[in-house]
Structure 1
């Protein structure tokens, strides 16, 4: 990280975001985070449930085996994480869901 990083220093992450907006505009909107701390990383978070996470995972051709499952908040919140390279940036997908809500994940009904 450079203390003097300019907006141009985020060009890789922002370029990836621009391409995602063009190529995947039909997908659910994520929360988006880019940071000068990790200038080549773009984080996409899904707080409305895991189906939005799954739609993006499939669209980006991330293998289900690459998804990491964990729980937080005394097992009250399910968290799925996956990452992929896209347009030179590292995309990090994170999906959150209440643990007590039964949702179809990965095409299961």
Structure 2
């Protein structure tokens, strides 16, 4: 039997978002995701249009995430780099993700040839 969550069930990530807006109003605006699927998670993602890796770094520093706790991967298209880190803030699990384009000269040979 499934239970329908109320908005109150999302109070932790919504509170964290409110605190982030108050504590760090000058940081680059991320894409924000709050979901009933993961009611304790606040996802912040940064894309190339907002200087993704520089913006990611600003958020990582503000959230006090150790650089060694950041994972870097390249998506299977070999064109998209992804930085990911997680921390707790304001009672919520915060997932920070930054996307950027991988320069053509650094892609594996034959990758992304279009």
Please indicate the TM-score interval, normalised by the length of the shorter structure.
0.7 to 0.9
Question: Alpha-carbon deviation of 1:3?
Answer: 3.2
The runs of 5 or more residues in structure 1 that have no matched partner are 102-109
Q: How many pairs are equivalent?
A: 100
Deviating more after overlay: 72-81 vs 38-47: 72-81
The equivalences for 1:1-109 within 5 A come to 3-48=3-48, 49-100=52-103
Moved over 6 A (4+): none
TM-score by length of structure 2 reads: 0.84
- Cα deviation for residue 87 of structure 1 reads 1.0
**DSSP-derived class of the 1:83 partner:** strand
- Within 2, Cα distance between the matches of 1:62 and 1:56? 9
Question: Residues of 1 paired with 2:53 and 2:74: CA distance?
Answer: 13
Any unmatched runs of 5+ in structure 2? 105-114
For residue 68 of structure 1, report the CA deviation from its aligned partner.
Answer: 0.3
Deviation at 1:75, TM superposition (A): 1.3
SS in 2 for 1:51: helix
Q: Deviations over 1:10-44 (max 9, x none)?
A: 00010000000000111000000000010000000
What secondary structure sits across from 1:28 in the alignment?
coil
RMSD: 1.2
For residue 84 of structure 1, report the CA deviation from its aligned partner.
0.4
Looking at structure 2, the residues matched to 50 and 57 of structure 1 have their Cα atoms a distance apart, in angstroms, of: 10
